[in-house]
Amino acid sequence: MEQQLYGYLQFEQQLLQEMLRLADKQQSALVNYHISELSEITSYQEAIIKNIRQAEEKRISLLMQWLGVSRKEAATLKLSNLEEKIENEEVCAEIKKMRKTLRGMIDQLHNLNSTNRLLTNRARTNIKDMMEYITGGRTVCNVEV
């Protein structure tokens, strides 16, 4: 069971790495105004998120089966708590390393997503301001930004 858990965690880590790569690519597309890339990146991100959810579901069901806990408890278990329950020292050491790596990756992803959200909001505001300037504040058509 410990090896299966480790395998699921590795898969989730790979998916998170892909999300980081996509968020960085999204930021580059936002800065360079590559609109066609943005829709492609967004659709790929949605697919990765779906895969992350599925991997998380499998991990939760494994924890429920292995530890005999409820779904709610399995979903809220932290890796630091699991380290105490793992008997294989090699797997335990790898999960400790992975926990630190995952924490850093999640922080990076959070920062990239915050920056991308800011860039998107700025672009939306700039387009709205340009439309107001061009139309002189009059409503020309029912375009919503």
Q: Is residue 104 part of a domain?
A: yes
Q: Is residue 140 part of a domain?
A: no
| Domain carrying residue 80 | 2-135
Q: Give per-residue pLDDT as tens, 115-142.
A: 999 998 988 888 888 888 887 767 656 6
pLDDT score recorded for residue 48: 95
With a cut of 70, say whether residue 143 has pLDDT above it.
no
pLDDT score recorded for residue 140: 58
Query: For the chain, how many structural domains are there in total?
Result: 1
pLDDT score recorded for residue 142: 63
The beta strand positions in the chain, using DSSP E, are none
Higher pLDDT, 25 or 89: 25
Q: Is residue 142 part of a domain?
A: no
Distance CA 12, CA 79 (A): 13
With a cut of 60, say whether residue 145 has pLDDT above it.
no
Q: Is residue 45 part of a domain?
A: yes
Distance CA 69, CA 82 (A): 13
Structure-block tokens of residue 115: 């920056």
pLDDT score recorded for residue 141: 62
- Domain containing residue 47: CATH number: 1.20.58
Q: Is residue 141 part of a domain?
A: no
Q: Is residue 81 part of a domain?
A: yes
Higher pLDDT, 80 or 61: 61
For Cα atoms 101, 106, 108, give the angle at the middle one, nearest 5 degrees: 95
Q: Give per-residue pLDDT as tens, 2-59.
A: 788 888 889 999 999 999 999 999 999 989 888 889 889 999 999 999 999 999 999 9
Contact indicator for 4, 62 with CB cutoff of 8 Å: yes
